[in-house]
């Protein structure tokens, strides 16, 4: 029995869902209230207390990029990671870079104001330039003609960044500056497995607008002694 514990808009959960579907693996999805964490989540992931959690029989796997590798090693059909060790290492590097740099900087650019917004927007664009360089000459996807590990790891860009741009009144995905990235996005969004598995845009927009308002209200509130 395979179960995936997740949260509807989480990019970390979606990348696991995409991987399972690409592999043709059936699973039960369990929606988690991440703001009121269930005893199940706390039992399955007592260290980080976060989604996603993959349950495969008696095995409990946490952390989305770790889960992707577990899925790829467990179900051999439709390989996700490249075959060559150097290529695998490179894919892991860029997945970590995008998560630790691009995601954090673009999120902060969306949810901040003034000079802080300008600073993090510039950092975001510099990060995306590096992703653009990695995509040049690669074909439809990072690994060539088939979706792979790095595409799934960076898939959040295709549906979250446009929302964050609208909410934060910023421009990140300029097709003139980043033609390879925007072409990759369209290929990704049009993939038959991927396009059926996105959260509703209006619901996603409302969720992140609310989160941004909460963050700005917290930043703007007077500190308590």
Same domain assignment for residues 10 and 66: yes
Same domain assignment for residues 162 and 182: yes
Same domain assignment for residues 89 and 70: no
Q: What is the CATH number of the domain that holds 42?
A: 3.40.30.10
Give the span between the Cα atoms of 145 and 131, in whole angstroms: 18
Which of these, 80, 91, 74, lies nearest to 27 by C-alpha position?
74
Q: What is the CATH number of the domain that holds 117?
A: 1.20.1050.10
Within a domain: residue 140?
Answer: yes
DSSP string, 161-188: HHHHHHHHT-----TTT-HHHHHHHHHH
Same domain assignment for residues 185 and 110: yes
Residue 15 has pLDDT above 60, yes or no: yes
Mean pLDDT on 160-185: 98
Give the span between the Cα atoms of 131 and 5, in whole angstroms: 30
Return the number of other C-beta atoms located less than 10 Å from residue 42's C-beta. Answer: 10
Instruction: For residue 29, list its beta bridge partners.
Output: 4
| 37-77 confidence digits (pLDDT tens) | 999 999 999 999 999 999 999 999 999 999 999 999 999 99
> Which residue range is the domain that position 143 belongs to?
85-211
Which of these, 6, 2, 5, lies nearest to 20 by C-alpha position?
2
Distances (CA, A) of 156 to 38, 43, 74, 108, 216: 25, 27, 24, 15, 23
Indicate the pLDDT class of residue 225, thresholds 50, 70 and 90.
Answer: very low
Same domain assignment for residues 158 and 190: yes
Question: Cβ distance 185 to 131 under 8 Å?
Answer: no
| 79-122 confidence digits (pLDDT tens) | 999 999 999 999 999 999 999 999 999 999 999 999 999 999 99
- Would you state the pLDDT for residue 224? 40
pTM, two decimal places: 0.94
Within a domain: residue 223?
Answer: no
């Amino acid at each position: 029995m395979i179960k995936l514990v997740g949260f509807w808009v989480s990019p970390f959960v979606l990348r696991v869902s995409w991987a399972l579907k690409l592999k043709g693996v059936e699973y039960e999805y369990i929606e988690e209230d991440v703001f009121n964490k269930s005893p199940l989540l706390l039992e399955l992931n007592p260290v980080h207390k976060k989604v996603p959690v993959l349950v495969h029989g008696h095995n409990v796997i946490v952390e989305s990029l770790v889960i992707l590798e577990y899925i790829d090693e467990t179900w051999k059909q439709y390989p996700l990671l490249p075959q060559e060790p150097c290529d695998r290492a490179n894919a892991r590097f860029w997945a970590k870079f995008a998560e630790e740099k691009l995601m954090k900087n673009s999120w902060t650019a969306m949810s901040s104001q003034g000079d802080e917004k300008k600073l993090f927007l510039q950092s975001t664009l510099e990060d995306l330039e590096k992703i653009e360089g990695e995509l040049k000459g690669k074909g439809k996807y990072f690994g060539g003609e088939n979706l792979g590990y790095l595409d799934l790891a960076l898939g959040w860009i295709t549906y979250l960044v446009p929302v964050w741009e609208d909410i934060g009144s910023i421009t990140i995905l300029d097709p003139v500056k980043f033609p390879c990235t925007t072409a990759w996005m369209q290929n990704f969004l049009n993939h038959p497995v991927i396009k059926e598995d996105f959260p509703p845009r209006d619901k996603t927009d409302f969720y992140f607008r609310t989160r941004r308002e909460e963050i700005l209200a917290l930043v703007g509130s007077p500190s308590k002694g």
